[in-house]
Amino acid sequence: MPALNAMIPGIYKHSRCRNNVYPRCDVRRYPVPDESVFWSQPYPDYQPPVYESDVLAGKDWADLDVDDPNFKVRWNQLDGKVSRVSFIGEYEVRDGYPMNLFGRTGLRGRGLLGRWGPNHAADPVVTKWKRDAAGEPVVNETTGRRILQMCAIERHDCGEWAIPGGMVDPGETVSTTLKREFLEEAMASADGVATDQVEQFFTGGREIYKGYVDDPRNTDNAWMETVAVNFHDGDGSVVGRFDLAAGDDAAKVRWMDVDGGVKLYASHASIVRRVADWHDAHW
Ligand code: BGC
């Protein structure tokens, strides 16, 4: 699992978006060995297939084709309400196509992603302490540290457990996305619980990570970036008190014990590890 602070271009080598079959289709990525990931490393034989999912056609959340005359775009800038700014830095645009700052993925085009270039998500990591029947925090016997629980969802699209995140809508602030996604995906049956207390809870977040995500949907020309924020319910009195109920893009939802063995979607485990470290919790 990569340490998040090492996720810098030219150092970090993505792996979940390399050397596999692209999700939800049977297109195989062109092989990209470790020594050929970065654009600075020559790879004369590189001939990745181009793929774009049919689900993008006519969607208002998806860009037009790069060569569509109606596609007027401002790369590396706020483009109307859509941010085309990468958290990582300025990306190169080659022959009209933005280039993945982390290098080759073995696939050109957008795949399943709606935007060319950066696609922005937001991930609320909602945590509380695991407690016993008497309400006392549970401590791991080996490390002597308290065990953290996080709200996790099982994603419909791939069946993997994940942080209940989602895409930032055009013009939306990240803090709105964070709260909206949590309420939509994890508290679906909690209509009417968005009380002042919950509102208040979602103002008290700590930013954990902002940057690239090694997401299986990434391509040479489109990739995921996220802002992950931890909201910790220290005494379990706010969201810790509600039953979680899956909605929207989630099949299941639960409070999951956090430790070094967690298997989560994309780079989510690295994000959660940072949260555990921050709270000095068991890992
Ligand atoms: C998910 C986020 C995730 C991002 C990058 C989005 O679709 O909702 O939780 O961090 O993709 O993988």
Q: Decide whether any atom of ligand 1 lies within 6 Å of the 62 Cβ.
A: no
Q: Ligand 1: distance of its center to the CA of 202 in Å?
A: 19
**Any ligand 1 atom below 6 A from CB of 178:** no
Query: What is the structure's pLDDT at 239?
Result: 86
CB 163 less than 6 A from any atom of ligand 1: yes
Q: Residue 98 falls within a domain, yes or no?
A: no
Kindly report the CATH number assigned to the domain that includes residue 164: 3.90.79.10
Residue 113 falls inside a structural domain: no
Q: Residue 107: inside a domain, yes or no?
A: no
Annotate the chain with three-state secondary structure.
CCCHHHCCCCCCCCCCCCCCECCCCCCECCCCCHHHCCCCCCCCCCCCCEEECHHHCCCCCCCCCCCCCCCCCCCCCEECCEECCCCCCCCCEECCEECCCCCCCCCEEEECCCCCEEEEEEEEEEEEECECCCCCECECCCCCCECEEEEEEEECCCCCEECCCEECCCCCCHHHHHHHHHHHHHECCCCCCCCHHHHHHCCCCEEEEEEECCCCCCCCCEEEEEEEEEEEECCCCCHHHCCCECCCCEEEEEEEECCCCCCCCCCHHHHHHHHHHHCCCCC
35 in a structural domain: no
Handedness of CA 274, 276, 282, 283 (dihedral sign): negative
Instruction: Out of 59-63, 82-86, 235-239, 254-258, pick the least confident.
Output: 235-239
More confident residue, 61 or 198: 61
Domains identified in the chain, total number: 1
Indicate if ligand 1 lies below 6 Å from the C-beta of 162: yes
Mean pLDDT to the nearest integer, 61-85 = 96
132 domain-assigned: yes
Mean pLDDT of the residues in the chain: 93
d(CA 169, ligand 1 centre) in Å: 13
State in Å: Cα 264 to ligand 1 middle: 11
pLDDT for position 272:
96
**270 located within any domain:** yes
In this prediction, residues 179-191 reach a mean pLDDT of 80
Q: Please tell me if the CB atom of residue 270 comes closer than 6 angstroms to any atom of ligand 1.
A: no
| Ligand 1 touching residue 215 (CB < 6 A) | yes
Give the C-alpha separation, 57 to 60, whole Å.
9
Q: Is the pLDDT of residue 218 over 70?
A: yes
**193 has a pLDDT exceeding 80:** no
- What per-residue confidence (pLDDT) applies to 43? 98
Examine residue 63 and state whether it is found in any structural domain, yes or no.
no
pLDDT confidence band for 249 (50 / 70 / 90): confident
- For residue 194, pLDDT over 80 is answered with no
**115 found inside a domain:** no
pLDDT at 248: 78
Ligand 1 centroid vs 167 CA: distance in angstroms?
7
For 172, the domain range is 121-210+227-279
